[in-house]
Amino acid sequence: MLTLERIDIRQDEFRLTAEFKVDDRALVAVVGPSGAGKSTLLNVISGFFAPVGGRVLWDGADITDAAPGKRPLSVVFQDNNLFPHLTAFQNVALGIKPSLKLDKAEAVRVNDALERVGLVGMELRKPGALSGGQQSRVTLARLLVRGRPLILLDEPFAALGPALRVEMLDLVAELVRAEGATLLMVTHHPADALRIADQTIVVANGVAAAPVPTQALFDDPPKVLRDYLG
Amino acid sequence: MADRAQPLIRFWPGFGAAALVAALTLGTVLAVALRAEGWAGLTPSDWAAVRFTLLQALLSAAISVALAVPVARALARRRFRGRSLLVTLLGAPFILPVIVAILGLLAVFGRNGLFSYLFGTIGLPAIDIYGLHGVVLAHVFFNLPLATRLILQGWLAIPAERFRLAASLGFASDDIARVLERPMLRNVLPGAFMVIFVICTTSFAVALALGGGPKATTVELAIYQAFRFEFDLGKAALLALVQFTICTVAAGLALWAHVPEAGAPGLDRAVERWDARGSGSRWLDAALITLAALFLLLPLAMVTVHGVPGMAGLGNSVALAAGRSVLVALAAALVTVVLALALAFAVQAVRGTIGKGVLEGIGYLAIAASPLVIGTGLFIVLFPLLDPVSVALPITALVNALMSLPFALRALVPAVAQVEHQFGQLADSLSLHGWARLRHLYLPRLRRPVGFAAGLAAALSMGDLGVIALFADPEAATLPLQMYRLMAAYRMDEAAGAGLLLLVLSLSLFWLFDRGGRIDADT
């Protein structure tokens, strides 16, 4: 279980507080106006931004000061999720060993992951030779081989067209459920949240609120969310 | 657009400039070739000079690049107070008068320098700085900062997002080195190595001051000796041809290796690194940065410390030499800017990439030509007409201007293209042509690159000890030459005073022009 305990984030004039828990295996959307701090919240959880106060806990263990790669989570950024000079296989293999020295069993795991995301035959292509959707699939294959229990997505499919985005969201939801992982996903689209997230965190006015059921939230949105949705 | 009337003024000055540059570079080489003795005229000692030139350039480039890699890595991943000042300082050796730097290096590494003194207190012998290692040391002093900047550029060109992705995947420092840093270095290092190699093959002042003798003579120095001491013009011309061959091959290799850009902006940011937080790597980086800064600053500090008392005892001859040098520097700056603007406008106006390439290429010819080769050629051409010594100063200014031209073009050609792209159609619609376009559009928009180019040309000319040594009139020395003479006569206090004066004048000229281009520039 992910716990944010009296988290206090400051950057110049900007301030954001967070105090909530996220249940295991929950699929949670993070919504809110631009600049409210959705990405910063994810960066605090993933270790790329240090809060001035409070603790991040995973299953009761304090991970506030752990290095990003040592946390029990995987991140998918808005872009630049792949190294352009490495092949699809290598980009996935990095999720097992950064040294890329895989034994047979590990190589099989990489190929299995690529197969699960539908990239059979694309192993040796570099990102430049893949479409946007295929690049996203490589990133998802790496999530699978890393097998971390918490997955953070920061508007990962913003660059894809609507149909492709829906397709990728469904794939993410399917994979996350199959792995029994927990998902936190920043999105600008209420439809995305309604499609796959059972719960939603609203980030607005300097507060990241505790997750509430998505359907109920959008059926009767509080004022901050109404202002944002327009 | 195709039938747009092109005002002539934008062509002809450019063609004139190109013709002048071609005459001074290719023309002088032709003069040298016609005058040169046969290749059989090369003695074993000449071949030794060729070998020494290549060896010292190879060592200088290899050591500069090898030391620059860890320093650039430290600068790329650390933030500290004074970091951007230090990065700016790394650009300073480029406009530093060579002879001043040598004086500073002598004060630190010489027989009577700091290190010899420290060694003496623990009973070790003094250091002998003269010879191959001294030449290489001076070249590393000049080129380590350049290499550091080039490599730092490579590091900062790796998108910050890749380091973030690496951190999210738990990369250790070795993993980052293998996946991100080594591929970058494989791209950047050959170019950095070759550009330093080219610079070191044309080194004259360093070899003059710290080399010499049968074991440590470069080809440039051999030209000077054949010219000044043996009065053997045929031999000097032959050596000049050898030098031209070396430079051309080396410059060709450098182009092939793709020289990276050092001037690109944005060097004053550091990349956030999650892998390098351990105290071991922090201490290592702090030590590297401190050592590099000391290596750069200590010689300059010594010049200042020794120079201040020496300033008081400076005689008339130094003051007159300083005055001559300032005039030469101003003339060189003017000629550089006029040539560069004329060429840049012509490059912009000529249609077709081949025409543009040829014009711009002519401007870069000076990279492969060495001042002493041009000087020898000019002497051969002028000698039947007039006493070359009587025009020593104008020739110095002209050759200096030529040497700065490639850097000026590098700044101005893209700037002119940008002005034309942004405002060309507006100017056309207002019939702003010819002088009006120059005065009301180009010059105001180009103030910054023009100021920078003029500052660079003035500072380089101010500190130049090359062609002037060849033509030197005992009565009309420039400040660097006068300073060298004081050093050769072991009048070190006066030399230190003259050195400080030269340093201050060079940096002031650069600052004044560069600053002048920035103030009130409405960008």
Q: Label residues B89-111 b or e (16+ Cβ within 10 Å = b).
A: ebeebbbbbbbbbbbbbbbbbbe
Higher pLDDT, B135 or B433: B135
CA angle A134, A138, A141 (to 5 degrees): 130
Flag whether residue B133 sits within 8 Å of chain A, measured between CB atoms. Answer: no
Residues of B in contact with A74 (CB under 8 A): 168
In this structure, are strands A53-58 and A61-62 parallel, antiparallel, or unpaired? Answer: antiparallel
Give the pair of three-digit tokens for residue B170: 């738990």
Question: Strand, coil or helix: what is B110?
Answer: coil
Q: Per the CB < 8 Å rule, is B179 touching A80?
A: no
What average pLDDT does this structure show over B344-356?
83
CA distance to partner chain B, nearest, from residue A50 (Å): 12
Report the percentage of chain A scoring pLDDT > 70. 100
Check whether B271 has a pLDDT greater than 90.
Answer: no
**Nearest chain A Cα to B170, which residue?**
A69
Radius of gyration of chain A (CA): 18
Q: What is the Cα–Cα distance from B288 to B73, expressed in whole angstroms?
A: 10
ipTM of the complex: 0.75
Distances in whole angstroms, Cα of residue B447 to Cα of each of A134, B32, B341, B441: 48, 38, 12, 11
Q: What is the Cα–Cα distance from B225 to B376, expressed in whole angstroms?
A: 12
Q: What is the Cα–Cα distance from A86 to B4, expressed in whole angstroms?
A: 48
Mean pLDDT for chain B overall: 87
Torsion of CA B226, B328, B395, B139, to 10 degrees: 40
Flag whether residue A170 sits within 8 Å of chain B, measured between CB atoms. Answer: no
Q: Per the CB < 8 Å rule, is B175 touching A98?
A: yes
Q: What is the Cα–Cα distance from B437 to B450, expressed in whole angstroms?
A: 16
Contacts 24+ apart (CB under 8 A), B91-95: B91/B145, B91/B149, B91/B262, B92/B145, B92/B296, B92/B507, B93/B141, B93/B142, B93/B143, B93/B145, B93/B146, B93/B296, B94/B142, B94/B145, B94/B146, B95/B456, B95/B459, B95/B460, B95/B463, B95/B506, B95/B507, B95/B510
Check whether B209 has a pLDDT greater than 50.
Answer: yes
A74, A98, A146 ranked by CB distance to B171: nearest = A98
Closest-CA residue to B415 (of B366, B453, B368, B377)? B453
CA distance to partner chain B, nearest, from residue A205 (Å): 28
Residues of A in contact with B166 (CB under 8 A): 98
Dihedral sign of CA atoms A100, A105, A109, A110 in order: positive
The amino acid sitting at B354 is I
pLDDT at B458: 96
Most A CBs within 10 A among B169, B187, B273, B281, hence the mutation to make, goes to B169
**Nearest chain A Cα to B160, which residue?**
A80
Number of structural domains chain B divides into = 1
Residues of A in contact with B168 (CB under 8 A): 46, 48, 68-69, 74-75, 77
Q: Per the CB < 8 Å rule, is B170 touching A67?
A: yes
* Confidence label for B264 from pLDDT (cuts 50, 70 and 90): very low
Q: Per the CB < 8 Å rule, is A83 touching B180?
A: yes
Asked if residue B471 is part of any domain, the answer here is yes
Q: Which residue has the tokens 């894809």?
A: A160
What CATH number corresponds to the domain at position B464? Answer: 1.10.3720.10
Q: Per the CB < 8 Å rule, is B164 touching A47?
A: no
pLDDT at B4: 45
Asked if residue B171 is part of any domain, the answer here is no
The per-residue pLDDT for range B82-133, each reduced to its tens digit, is 888 888 888 888 889 999 999 999 999 988 888 888 888 888 887 888 899 9
Domain that holds residue B259: 8-68+135-152+186-268+287-296+310-518
pLDDT at B5: 45
- Please, how many CA atoms are within 13 Å of residue B122, restricted to the half-sphere of its CB? 4
Please provide the DSSP assignment of A28-43 as one string: EEEE--TTSSHHHHHH
Closest-CA residue to B396 (of B343, B325, B485)? B325
A69, A79, A85 ranked by CB distance to B169: nearest = A69
Q: Per the CB < 8 Å rule, is B161 touching A80?
A: yes
Q: Phi/psi of residue B141, each to 5°?
A: -55, -45
pLDDT at B522: 59
Q: Per the CB < 8 Å rule, is B179 touching A74?
A: no
Q: What is the Cα–Cα distance from B509 to A223, expressed in whole angstroms?
A: 63
Distances in whole angstroms, Cα of residue A44 to Cα of each of A22, A75, A162: 15, 12, 29
CA distance to partner chain B, nearest, from residue A73 (Å): 9
Q: Mind listing the pLDDT tens digit of every residue in chain A (230 residues)?
A: 999 999 999 998 899 999 999 999 999 999 999 889 999 999 999 998 999 999 999 999 999 999 888 899 999 988 888 888 889 999 999 889 888 889 999 999 999 999 999 999 999 999 989 999 999 999 999 999 999 999 999 988 888 888 999 999 999 999 999 999 999 999 988 899 999 999 999 999 999 999 999 999 999 998 888 888 87
Residues of B in contact with A46 (CB under 8 A): 168
Q: What is the Cα–Cα distance from B330 to B336, expressed in whole angstroms?
A: 10
Report the percentage of chain B scoring pLDDT > 70. 94
Residues of A in contact with B182 (CB under 8 A): none
A75, A83, A85 ranked by CB distance to B168: nearest = A75
pLDDT at B1: 39
CA A175 to chain CA mean position, Å: 13
In this structure, are strands A182-186 and A150-154 parallel, antiparallel, or unpaired? Answer: parallel
Residues of A in contact with B162 (CB under 8 A): 80, 83
Most B CBs within 10 A among A94, A100, A126, A139, hence the mutation to make, goes to A94
Flag whether residue A32 sits within 8 Å of chain B, measured between CB atoms. Answer: no
Residue ranges of alpha helices (H) inside A84-222 are 88-93, 104-116, 132-146, 162-179, 190-196, 214-219
What's the full length of chain A, in residues? Answer: 230
> Which residues, in sequence order, are CB contacts of A88 under 8 Å at separation 6+?
A114, A119, A122, A123, A124, A125, A126, A127, A130, A134, A138, A141
Residues of A in contact with B274 (CB under 8 A): 47-48, 67-69
Residues of B in contact with A81 (CB under 8 A): 165
* Segments making up each domain of chain A, as ranges: 82-147
Q: What is the Cα–Cα distance from B438 to B433, expressed in whole angstroms?
A: 8
Q: Which of B273-287, B298-312, B326-340, B488-502 has the largest mean confidence?
A: B326-340
Give the pair of three-digit tokens for residue A176: 């996350």
Interface contacts (A, B; CB < 8 Å)? 58
The per-residue pLDDT for range B12-58, each reduced to its tens digit, is 788 889 999 999 888 888 888 888 887 888 889 899 999 999 999 99
Please provide the DSSP assignment of A56-84 as one string: EEETTEE-TTS-GGGSSEEEE-SS--S-T
Closest-CA residue to A72 (of A168, A197, A181, A179)? A181
Most A CBs within 10 A among B162, B163, B165, hence the mutation to make, goes to B165
Q: Per the CB < 8 Å rule, is B183 touching A67?
A: no
pLDDT at A25: 95
Q: Give B296's DSSP letter.
A: H
Chain B stretch 163-192, residues whose beta carbon is closer than 8 A to a beta carbon of chain A: 164-172, 174-175, 178-180, 183
pLDDT at B285: 92
Asked if residue B292 is part of any domain, the answer here is yes
Count of C-beta atoms within a 10 Å radius of residue B307 = 25
Residue ranges of alpha helices (H) inside B432-491 are 434-437, 443-445, 447-463, 467-471, 479-488
What average pLDDT does this structure show over B402-412?
91
Residues of B in contact with A82 (CB under 8 A): 165
- Percent composition of chain A: helix, strand, coil (DSSP 3-state, to 5): 40, 25, 40
Chain A stretch 82-101, residues whose beta carbon is closer than 8 A to a beta carbon of chain B: 82-83, 85-86, 94-95, 98-99
Distances in whole angstroms, Cα of residue B192 to Cα of each of A55, B52, B202, B463: 47, 21, 16, 24
pLDDT at B3: 39
Residue ranges of alpha helices (H) inside B257-370 are 279-312, 316-349, 353-364
Distances in whole angstroms, Cα of residue B325 to Cα of each of B456, B461, B491: 15, 8, 21
Flag whether residue A80 sits within 8 Å of chain B, measured between CB atoms. Answer: yes
The per-residue pLDDT for range B419-455, each reduced to its tens digit, is 888 887 777 777 677 777 787 788 888 999 999 999 9
What average pLDDT does this structure show over B199-214?
88
The per-residue pLDDT for range A185-217, each reduced to its tens digit, is 999 888 999 999 999 999 999 999 999 999 999
pLDDT at B262: 52
What average pLDDT does this structure show over B268-282?
74
B161, B178, B183 ranked by CB distance to A77: nearest = B161
B166, B170, B178 ranked by CB distance to A70: nearest = B170
**Nearest chain B Cα to A46, which residue?**
B168
The per-residue pLDDT for range B136-150, each reduced to its tens digit, is 999 999 999 999 999
For residues B366 and B25, the answer to whether their CB atoms sit within 8 Å is: yes
For residues B102 and B178, the answer to whether their CB atoms sit within 8 Å is: no
Give the pair of three-digit tokens for residue B249: 């091959």
Most B CBs within 10 A among A83, A90, A96, hence the mutation to make, goes to A83
Q: What is the Cα–Cα distance from A205 to A185, expressed in whole angstroms?
A: 19
> Which residues, in sequence order, are CB contacts of B454 under 8 Å at separation 6+?
B333, B334, B336, B337, B513, B517
pLDDT at B266: 54
